[in-house]
Structures are given as structure tokens and as C-alpha cells.
Structure 1
Amino acid sequence: MRIHREGYRYIAMASVLWLILGYASFYFLPGWPIIVWPLNVIFFLLWFWVIWFFRLPARTHTSHEQKIIAPADGKVVVIEETYEPEYFKDKRLQVSIFMSPLNVHVNRNPISGVVKYMKYHPGKYLVAWHPKSSTENERTSLVIANNDIELLMRQIAGAMARRICYYVKEGDVVKQNDEFGFIRFGSRVDVFFPIGTQLDVKIGDIVQGGMTVLGHFP
């Protein structure tokens, strides 16, 4: 298991903070081991959680030009036909994946193709499962085109997530399963498919980015 580059600064900050707080607890409470040791256990667990959050596990990715692979780890919380107003401006099949703070937060390209559209939207920080989070939260929208098929992925920041990272721009040629972004500390990814796409997941399914097949091209 490796650590994602987005975590280096946070892990360094957490390490320094743990050392300072640990030293302070022993220095100011020398006669209170019943307090000092539990405090240091809590500090250690918080430090370990930061490392765990930014983990980048080794995986054998699923690759297939006719399959649409999950862009993120998490739980499928929405499957519905809905109007997509930003890019397509028509009805699409939406699949939403909720990423808890315990999930791997790397976002991967579900298909290979060309980035036709990329836009960042500043916004609010409603909880990721809030119905209005798709349109009011901080988010990015990314469209990948492969021949006549276009998919829109929307990274949505949650109540804990305060920064969305993205690594692609319009015109880039991208490969299936390569990283296109990262969201910190709890979030959601929406995928908008053409109507008629055959899905291989249902609400409540747990998916893994780069591995789980979401569906097939119509």
C-alpha cells in the first residue's frame, strides 16, 4: 500500500501536531498517567486515520472498451433518470456513489477517451447525500468522449471535504482507470450515462474504483 501524493502535506501536519500534543501532555500532566496515556492513544488513532484516508492500495484494474468502470470507491446511493442541465441539457441516467471518510478517495476515468468539457464550480458544503448537493456544493464537471459516447462525471465536495483536486483539462486524451482527481474527507461522485445504458449495479451496492463494472455501452 502506498500513500497518495495529496496526503503528504496533511500527514506531515498531523505528525507535527501529534508530537507537540504528545509532548505537551507529558510535560503539563506528569502526575496524571490515567489521562496522558488515553490522550496519546487518541492522538495516535487520529494520526493513523489521516494516513489511512490517503492510502493508495495496489489493485488489478478492470479494463474493457465496452465497459464503464466505477470512478470511485463507495456505495451506490442514487440510480435515476434525471435532467442534466449543465452540459447535455437533456435526460440522462444518473448513478451516484457516496464516498465515506473510510473509503479510498481517488477518482478514476471510467472510460478511455478525450476530455471534451471540464469546469470547476465553487459552492456550499452540504452533506454529500443532500438532494441539492449536486447543484449547490463545490464541484467539478468532467465529460469524456469515446467515439459517439459521452459520459459526465461530477465530483461533489461533502460537509467535510473542502477541496476538490483534478488532474485533467479539456483536450486531454485519457485512459480508463487512470486518475482524474481526488476529493478530501468525504464526498460523492455522480456519473451521467446515456439513456438505455445497461447497468450492472443497483442501489446499495458497494463499488471499488477501477474495478467494479457500472455498466455497458448501449
Structure 2
Amino acid sequence: MDVVSLEGERGDTASCLTYFETLAIARSAQLLDIGCRHGSFLENLRRRGYHNLQGLDIDADAVAKGEAAYPALRGRLHAYDGTVFPFEKGRFDVITMFDVIEHIAPVEAYLRELRTLLRPGGRLVFQTPNILIDVPYWMLALRLFNREKIAWMFREHCSLQTYGSLRRLLGRAGFQEVRIERNRSDTEFKKAHVRQTLGWPGLVILHASNHFPMVLYPNFWGHARA
């Protein structure tokens, strides 16, 4: 089945679907996507038979654009302030967070509160970049070679993690059975981005990164239980 994604979605929707589908999550699951933006990930799930879907994002304009493009998601995409969740505790079987953890400054407190939205044994599914790869990449890609630009980068990605710190963070937030895994790096989305920013040398590194040890893998994909 083809993957739909609106222009302006910031993440790799196809990769998120590829990873999600490895987890064999029931189509009846009550699911919340944090950082849903236009809702393309949720729309793809809907087309694959998932119907109990909700999304949250801090960008009200992005939510409105998504509801206009995906009429079946109207009333399921919600703008919020990034702190107060408009759902009752224990409502969801699954919460997804792709390219979100790194943007949240009080991230441990946020994850601890987020966990309360999951039923006991419910699952958090996530992806977040590796600080050891993310920082050098963006410094080269955006030519961030002065103090002001570097400070801007760390404001945008204020909670970047290593493999070890991510496991500890999730543990402190109360999650159990934490698994951090790989999902292929050289997707069409990533290749297009790297080709534009770093050219062919970047493409060589991107392909090689599929074989990097886990502590140096570009993005951490994983799941954990509430």
C-alpha cells in the first residue's frame, strides 16, 4: 500500500510505518500520536484498518491543514499547549512519539505524565536521534560554525540522548521492558535530505550507518511498557 504524506511533514512517515508494522499492534488499539503535525502517520494507519486514533500537536495551523487534507481525521487531531493532555488517564493502548523526545525541555516530567495516559501494560513507541550523530550532522548540514548558531541548534534539540541516557530516562519516567532497536537509515526520505545538504559523501556515510554499532546508530527506534 502506498504511503501518503503532506508537504511540510517534518518526519519520515514511511519509516515510522515500517517500524510500527513490526510491532504487530492490534487494529483495535486505542492509539495517540504525539507531535502528529498534519496527521499523515495517522492517516496511513487509518487506511490500514486502524480506527481508534487521536493526534496531538502544538501547531494549531498544522492541525487545521491536516484536518482539511484528511477529512476522516476531523475531530481526531488536536492542538494543545505542550504540557496539559486533554485526555483521561489510562485511555490509550499505544502512544507514538516520532522525532518528539528531543524537542521537550522538561522531558522526564513530560514522559512521566504521558505514561499515565497509557493503560497498565500499554506501549510507548518512539524514535529520537542519537546526540553523537545528530549534532555533527546538523553542524555540517546547516554550517553551524559559530556560537550563536550552535546555541540555536541546542534550543531546537534540547533533549538529545545517547543510547544509555535514553534507557535511563525512560526508566526514571516509570517505563519498563525498554527496547531500543534499529530501523534502516538509508530511506528515500533520508537520502533526499542528505543529498541536498551533504552531497554524495553524506550518502556514503548514510549507507554505512546501517552497520554502525547501536551506540552510534543515527536514530534510536524503540518501545517500552507502562
TM-score by length of 2: 0.24
Radius of gyration: which is bigger? 1
